[in-house]
Amino acid sequence: MEEQSLSKRYVSFVDQLISTGLGAGLSPIAPGTVGTLLGLIIYFIPGFDKIYVILPAIVVFFLWGSYSADKAEKVYGHDPSRVVIDEVVAMWISVLFLPQRLFIAAVAFLIFRLLDIFKPYPASYFDKKNGGLMIMLDDVVCAVYTNLILQLVLVLAR
């Protein structure tokens, strides 16, 4: 019994590192925005935009992030602001299959942050639920919307 209650009060170093986006979520000012910016910075590492790099990264960090966010939520409460792995992964989804251009990435950043604030359905549904998977899913929905908006704009701009 003691072991179970201890695990509810403790988040391992690795889970802290993942859930806080390498510590970006510990920012005293706008941790979600800082986490999104981290995702954007990682995206611009040479070669990261290659489909065989970014797609596995999205899958791995979505799954690992769900697990780590779940651990953090049990200690810090519902969808704690320090958990930003969801923003990191969402930024990658926001720019997936788009040309790797600074302007496009900056617009994706702005659209995603706006959608993440306003939480259009079903993001708002997931946001109200508990658990690491729900923490990840509300941002994934906003990221998919962001990506679709940009894909449409690029098609219409041709």
Q: Considering only CA atoms, which of 78, 63, 84, 90 is closest in space to residue 16?
A: 84
Q: Considering only CA atoms, which of 122, 2, 140 is closest in space to residue 62?
A: 140
- Does 4 have pLDDT greater than 80? no
Give the 3-state secondary structure of residue 77: coil
- Does 130 have pLDDT greater than 60? yes
Tokens of 73: 């939520």
Domain definitions of the chain by residue range: 30-62+86-157
pLDDT for 51: 97
- Does 66 have pLDDT greater than 70? yes
User: Could you report how far apart the first and last alpha carbons of the chain are, in Å?
Assistant: 63
Query: Mind giving me the DSSP string for 13-63?
Result: HHHHHHHTTTTGGG-SS-HHHHHHHHHHHHHTSTTTTSHHHHHHHHHHHHH
- Does 3 have pLDDT greater than 90? no
pTM of the full structure: 0.92
Neighbours of 66 (CB within 10 A): 20
Per-residue pLDDT band at 9 (split at 50, 70, 90) = confident
Residues 83/72, Cβ–Cβ less than 8 Å: yes
